[in-house]
Structure 1
Amino acid sequence: MTAITYESSENIALITIRRPEARNCIDNAVVQGLHEAWKRFACGDDRVAVLTAQGEQAFSAGADLKDLPKNVWLCMPNLLVPCDKPIICAVNGFAVGAGATMVMLADMAVAEEQAQFIYPEAKIGAFAGVMAGFPPRMQYKAGLEWLMTGDAMGAQRAYEIGLVNRVVPKGQALASALETAAKIARNAPLVVQAMKSIARSTMPKSSTELYLPQRIMLDAIAQSADLQEGVASFREKRAPCFTGR
């Protein structure tokens, strides 16, 4: 089964995580699939994207401990793929760790009433850093309490502190998100994109958000054929022949 599907209809991209048997945990296939989906959306004709997940149990239970993704940040919306078009999350169950981070980084979110948001890193002694950029996206004191305690947060509380736009009955998150997406898709795309671009340009970013794009670029250089060619040419005392790969 394909981990990620991308369906396009009436200028709306529906992007779905399809690992219900693993509570839609994020493994390397999900990371790569979502990264490609964000690139396709950013460069394509679709005007709005809705991110959802298959099954009723979880939007995403976070990183897959049986297949830890090498770079989970590649799959995050609005992080490593520049995009001025709106991205909406439809949360249909538990959103844990990296799953909760995706909701935080999206432009809008709809949650079903039984949804739970959990960020457990304080309880396990790990912190990747991107969630530290939460203050512009939800209330500071409430958000900090949620992160520091590691306690589960219900959908209504997530709405109250600004993590999600609205709470809907069970089974209606996707329909509600698509309804909002349709309204946006009918509007002037240049104006919609300008609104997001200007809004995001005024939003402060965490140090991790600022550093990650540079890290990805530098990692690519460190793993490039050009680096190997440069080292080989130096050892062989000849001029290098770089290919940009």
Structure 2
Amino acid sequence: MAAIAYVSQDGIARITIDRADARNAINNEVVQGLQEAWRRFAREDDRVAVLGAAGEQAFSAGADLKDMPRDVWLSMPNLSVPCDKPIICAVNGFAVGAGATMVMLADMAVAEEQAQFIYPEAKIGAFAGVMAGFPPRMQYKAGLEWLMTGDPMTAQRAYEIGLVNRVVPKGQAMKVALEIAAKIAANAPLVVQAMKSIARSTLPKSSTEQYYPQRVMLDGIANSADIKEGVASFREKRPPRFTGK
């Protein structure tokens, strides 16, 4: 069974991390599946995406320690795949590490009342840097305390500091997120996309948020047919025949 499910209906892309038995921990399959989901959402006709997770226990337990993922940043919304269409997270339980980062980078979030947000990197001595871009998305002092202590944060506190839009009863996050998505999907898509594009352009970006999109472009060049053609033409002492692919 695929680690990521993608269902398109009524202009809404419902994307699900489907590893409930592993608390929806992020492994390489999840990273690959989510990046493809973001690419699909960006290029197809769905107007809003809702990211959720299977089971009741966790939105995501973060990186899978039994299958450590490479390039976790590729799975993040609004990071590796540029997209002006809104992305909403439906948080149904623990959101740990990279799972909490997904919520931070999404455009909106709905959390169930029992959900907790945990960013343990300061306690284990690891930091990828993406979460450092939190200040435009939640209160600076409160967010910094949360990151530096590594203490769990309740859904209510996440609401108070601006990490989530709404706190709802247990079992209702996806329902409410889809209700919000349906209202947005019924509106003029060009206007909605312009709103997100202009709003995001006003947000200051951390160095990691600036770097990773550039890395996507540079990795594309490094893995292109054109670079192979350039090397081959040099070796064969002939003019290159570039295709832009």
- Report the TM-score, using the length of structure 1 for normalisation: 0.94
Bigger Cα displacement from structure 2, 48-57 vs 217-226: 217-226
The sequence identity of aligned pairs, in percent, is 83
Deviation at 1:239, TM superposition (A): 3.8
Bigger Cα displacement from structure 2, 201-210 vs 220-229: 220-229
2:225 and 2:122 mapped to 1: Cα distance? 39
1:90 aligns with 90
Deviation at 1:243, TM superposition (A): 4.6
2:172 aligns with 172
2:219 and 2:191 mapped to 1: Cα distance? 35
1:162 aligns with 162
Deviation at 1:236, TM superposition (A): 4.5
Deviation at 1:52, TM superposition (A): 0.2
Bigger Cα displacement from structure 2, 124-133 vs 139-148: 124-133
2:210 aligns with 210
Question: CA-atom RMSD, angstroms?
Answer: 1.5
1:41 aligns with 41
Aligned residue for 1:162, secondary structure, equals coil
2:196 aligns with 196
Deviation at 1:76, TM superposition (A): 0.8
- Report the TM-score, using the length of structure 2 for normalisation: 0.94
1:187 and 1:223 mapped to 2: Cα distance? 39
Aligned residue for 2:103, secondary structure, equals helix
1:105 and 1:192 mapped to 2: Cα distance? 18
In the superposition, relative to structure 1, how do residues 190 and 236 fare at CA in structure 2: closer, same or farther (>3 Å)? closer
Aligned residue for 1:95, secondary structure, equals strand
2:8 aligns with 8
1:230 and 1:67 mapped to 2: Cα distance? 36
Deviation at 1:222, TM superposition (A): 2.9
Deviation at 1:216, TM superposition (A): 2.2
Deviation at 1:17, TM superposition (A): 0.6
Deviation at 1:238, TM superposition (A): 4.0
- In structure 2, runs of 5+ residues without a counterpart are none
2:57 aligns with 57
Q: Deviations over 1:112-164 (max 9, x none)?
A: 11111011111111111111110010000000000111111111110110000
Q: Deviations over 1:35-86 (max 9, x none)?
A: 1111111121111111000001110111112222221111111112111111
Q: How does 1:16-35 map onto structure 2 within 5 Å? A: 16-35=16-35
Q: Deviations over 1:177-233 (max 9, x none)?
A: 111111111112121111111111111110100011112222333344443443444
Q: Which amino acid in 1 is paired with 2:209?
A: E
Aligned residue for 1:187, secondary structure, equals coil
Aligned residue for 1:89, secondary structure, equals strand
2:112 aligns with 112
1:20 and 1:44 mapped to 2: Cα distance? 28
Q: Which amino acid in 2 is paired with 1:15?
A: I
1:235 and 1:186 mapped to 2: Cα distance? 56
1:144 aligns with 144
